[in-house]
Structure 1
Amino acid sequence: MAHDGLLDSSFSPLLGEPLLLCNADALPAPKPRAAIVIAVDRGGAVPEIDPSQCDVLITTRMEAPLPWVSIPMARLNSQLKQARENIGRSPVAATVLTQVLRLSENLSFEDALAVESFAYSALLGGGEFQDWRKSKCSLIKPAGGSVHYDRIDDSVTLVLASPSTRNAMSAAMRDALYEALANVVEDPSQPTLSLRGEGRCFSSGGDIAEFGSASDLAAAHVVRTSRSCAALLHRLKDRVEVRIHGACIGSGIEMAAACARIFAAPNTFVHLPELKMGLIPGAGGTVTLPRRIGRHRTAWLALSGLRIGATQGRAWGLLDMIMK
């Protein structure tokens, strides 16, 4: 009797290997329900395929269209190995990541943010994150953070102003940015907004000393969704631009991707490090990035842990312009 994989636990992140690596022209039918499906087109043919059946689509053809990820044959095996190892170290977080991306694909922006936050709070209580936190955070002190506000006529500039911490997105930084953004959103004169970072980089991402510091994970979900900077940047629509440079990591690129226009310096690189912590992007990244580059490329960026530079970011549509 057919059971559509209901009793198949071979791809469970708890009981087996969650990754299903398969040829793009030979997808399993039906798709195992719990599997992370990465389909690979080694021949560069870019076959017609139902993208809804996969979490990542990889081809060796260069400059392949969405939703494909182009990887040169010479680097294919090493990058697949890296992704497999990352998934193997955090199988629950990797599975949750792909589930959230699938669920959020057709949701409204606000609803998708809520789904991400539910999942993020769940993972904060999980064993993978707790193991990482014990090994990394005990000697790290929380960072501060401030945001500089400047206005000329109907143009507002906000600057992340904590260069000593590489503009780490601490709770203090987030709250300062949220308050400044709320003022712009509610301003009846509807000023334009330019967001940038002071110092060597735009933002090194979340302040890891604060990860998991909330004692009430349900309340933390409420705080994340009610004080989401990504939500406010999204509400500003075509009134907002962001100028990024250097490192744009984790919450840095997650928020930047909510802006209507992203201008990047040539030295910009983007990185989603959350999986190695047993987490998923939690500052809106599972919502903002897919709306620019699709859920398949977002999944690969997170699962592989690879950094992409300005040129690749521009080719993917993540960045709108590379500044000279």
Structure 2
Amino acid sequence: MLDLPGGIRVAIGDPQDDATFTLTQTAGADRRAVTVASVDEAVAELTERCARWPHAAAICDDVLRAAAATASVFAGVITESLAYSTLQSGPEFARWLGERGPARLPVLPDPVRAERDGDTLRIRFNRSARHNAFTTDARAALLEALEVARLDESVSEVVLAGNGKSFCSGGDLAEFGTFADPAGAHLARTRHSPALVLAELTERLGTHCRAEVHGQVLGSGLEMAAYCGHIRCHPDATIGLPELALGLIPGAGGTVSITRRIGRWRTAYLVLSGATIGADTALAWGLVDEISADVPAGSPTR
């Protein structure tokens, strides 16, 4: 067992339960293990990343271990959000904000579009000029659309997709740091959470609460899609969790939704390594349920 900065424990070869994850060069289906081309190179890169963001790495490991043990989506989302707010107050996120510098968030109308087709509600992210990067406005619009399905039991199918070249590229980096109060940000995330509504809809609709993903499927985009009962994925998809490079962890419920699909070990690897995976690996891991070139990309914003 290798001890990396931040208390991260990486096993080599045979999968071990108590490791953060296991690295191997042998293909296998065990959710505790990740197959890499070179264990030595992977360890070197992970060591460098965990040394640069030790607080975020340690808290990621803590939250994922807690999420794996909880049976409640709500409890998991609360735990994740409290940890996220802790990191928002920390030096690693402050360093990233300083390196990014001032940013201006473009105002794009209709960040989410919804239409009813019989008993089906189709919801599309609609900030295609930004690869559907997620914002506070988009969250409010998404919640408004999801509430229709939650309150109207005649809606028997919900389809979540994205216009333009990507499903959703994660949180819009220009908006990060605009909440001065981490406690208020925690309340906003948890009292107005698309994750919780998607989990409720999936409990009711099963595979008829579906995400259709393509292009960039990153960060909060992946986290929300993972709550759906079925994910149909275009072969071009690029899938990952890039939050560590901001000194943060997933903050849209992904420590619950993704862990439930692929286990805490592979979830930890995606966060700590910053690696992206393609549709084939995502299917083999159970992160998506189907690969189809017929996944529609919709029309770009005009």
TM over 0.5: yes
| Residues 263-302 of structure 1: pairs in structure 2 closer than 5 A | 263-302=232-271
Tell me the distance in 1 between the aligned counterparts of 2:250 and 2:45. Answer: 19
> Counterpart of 1:114?
78
Secondary structure at the counterpart of residue 66 of structure 2: helix
Q: Please state whether the residue corresponding to 2:283 is helix, strand or coil.
A: helix
Counterpart CA distance in 2 for 1:290 and 1:215 is 30
Asked whether the 8 Å contact 2:67–2:259 carries over to 1, the reply is no
In the alignment, the residues of structure 2 paired with residue 153 and residue 97 of structure 1 have an alpha-carbon distance, to the nearest angstrom, of: 42
What is the CA deviation profile of residues 252-286 of structure 1, one whole-angstrom value per residue up to 9, with x for unaligned ones? 10111111100000000112111011000001111
The equivalences for 1:52-201 within 5 A come to 53-72=18-37, 75-107=38-70, 108-144=72-108, 146-201=111-166
Letter in 1 for 2:228: C
Per-residue deviation, residues 177-197 of structure 1 (Å, max 9, x unmatched): 011111111113142101100
Inter-partner Cα distance in structure 2 for 1:228 and 1:184: 15
Give the secondary structure class of the aligned counterpart of 1:213: coil
Structure 1's consecutive aligned runs of 4 or more residues displaced over 4 angstroms after TM superposition are: none
Shift in Å at residue 64 of structure 1?
3.3
Greater C-alpha Rg: 1
Q: Deviations over 1:182-214 (max 9, x none)?
A: 111111314210110000011111011111211
Report the Cα distance in structure 1 between the residues aligned to 2:196 and 2:103, rounded to whole angstroms: 33
Residue 111 and residue 292 in structure 1: after superposition, are their counterparts in 2 closer, same or farther (change >3 A)?
Answer: same
1:20 partner amino acid: D
What do the CA deviations read for 1:25-54 (whole angstroms, capped 9, x no partner)?
A: xxxxxxxxx72111111xxxx36x4x0x21
Higher relative contact order (CA 8 A, sep 6+): 2
Question: Which amino acid counterpart does residue 255 of structure 1 have in structure 2?
Answer: M
Shift of 1:137: 4.1
Letter aligned with residue 243 of structure 1? E
* 8 Å contact kept, 1:143–1:168: no
Gaps of 5+ in 1: 1-18, 22-33
Which residue of the partner structure matches residue 9 of structure 1? none
**What's the secondary structure of 1:135's corresponding residue?**
helix
Q: Match of 1:244?
A: 213
The Cα shift of 1:142 comes to: 4.7
Of the candidates 192, 199, 204, which is equivalent to residue 234 of structure 1? Answer: 199
Q: Distance in 1 between matches of 2:135 and 2:289?
A: 27
Q: Is the 8 A contact 2:29 2:285 kept in 1?
A: no
Aligned residues of 2:77 and 2:256 also touching (Cα < 8 A)? yes
Amino acid at match of 2:251: G
Match of 2:10 in 1: 38
CA deviation map 1:73-110 (0-9, x unaligned): xx222222211111111000100000011112121111
Match of 1:321 among 290, 293, 297: 290
Displacement of 1:143 in angstroms is 5.0
- SS of the residue corresponding to residue 124 of structure 2 reads strand
Unaligned 5+ residue runs, structure 2? 294-302
Q: Against the structure 1 CA distance between its residues 292 and 146, is the aligned structure 2 distance closer, same or farther, given a 3 Å change threshold?
A: same
Residues 130-178 of structure 1: per-residue CA shift (max 9 Å, x gap): 0101111413435545111111111110011111111010111111001
Structure 1, 172-181 or 186-195: larger mean CA deviation: 186-195
**2:115 alignment partner, SS class:** strand
2:298 maps to none
Q: Normalization by structure 2: what TM-score?
A: 0.91
- Aligned counterparts of 2:58 and 2:254: Cα–Cα separation in 1: 16
User: Is the Cα contact below 8 Å between 2:32 and 2:263 reproduced in 1?
Assistant: yes
Q: Cα distance 1:269–1:258, how it changes in 2: closer, same or farther (>3 A)?
A: same
Q: Which amino acid aligns with 1:167?
A: N
Distance 1:179 1:137, change over 3 A: farther
Question: Distance between the aligned counterparts of 1:312 and 1:163, measured in 2?
Answer: 26
Q: Percent identity?
A: 39
